[in-house]
Amino acid sequence: MGRYRLLEHTADIGLEAWGESREELFIQAALALREVIFGQVAVRETRPLELTLSGGDDAELLVNWLGELLFHFECRHLVPAGFILEFSGGELRARVQGEDFDPARHPVEREVKAVTHHQVLVEQTAQGWHGRVYLDL
């Protein structure tokens, strides 16, 4: 089972996520990012988005993945809910389901400026996959 938690940082906020697979880790990180922005919120799956992303390594890919979701929220007003992920070679293919941003249903708690490379980590351990990333608020 995947899970995540938010990390303390004096000025900003971090997130740490776990998953039995790399896909699950990336999904948990996306849910953590959503919680940073909206808090606990119910989101319907009414709008699809397909993405293909690349990165020099898993850590860079994690930053790019979360950065992409942030962009699609800010510019295309998509609040994500469901995810199907697939890694192939150095690429990540994602099918995201979500709904149009509605401030009444998804009140924004914080603005995330960016997903940083500061101490970013993706590792496979005996227990599964573990990742960490810090957000600039």
Tell me whether residue 130 is exposed, middle or buried, using C-beta atoms within 10 angstroms of its C-beta: 0 to 12, 13 to 18, 19 or more: middle
Cα–Cα distance between 121 and 132 in angstroms, integer?
Answer: 5
Could you tell me if 108 and 38 are in contact, meaning their C-beta atoms sit under 8 angstroms apart? yes
- Taking the complex as a whole, how short is the minimal distance between the CB of residue 123 and another protein, in angstroms? 15
Looking at the Cβ atoms of 20 and 107, the one nearer to another protein is 107
SS3 89: coil
Looking at the Cβ atoms of 82 and 107, the one nearer to another protein is 107
- Taking the complex as a whole, how short is the minimal distance between the CB of residue 99 and another protein, in angstroms? 15
Looking at the Cβ atoms of 39 and 48, the one nearer to another protein is 39
Could you tell me if 76 and 20 are in contact, meaning their C-beta atoms sit under 8 angstroms apart? no
Looking at the Cβ atoms of 16 and 74, the one nearer to another protein is 74
49 backbone φψ class: left, alpha, beta (φ>0; ψ -120 to 50): beta
- Taking the complex as a whole, how short is the minimal distance between the CB of residue 62 and another protein, in angstroms? 12
Could you tell me if 4 and 18 are in contact, meaning their C-beta atoms sit under 8 angstroms apart? yes
- Taking the complex as a whole, how short is the minimal distance between the CB of residue 110 and another protein, in angstroms? 7
Q: Interface with another protein by CB under 8 A: which residues?
A: 6, 8-13, 39, 56, 60, 64, 67, 71, 74-75, 77, 101, 103, 107-111, 113-120, 134, 136-137
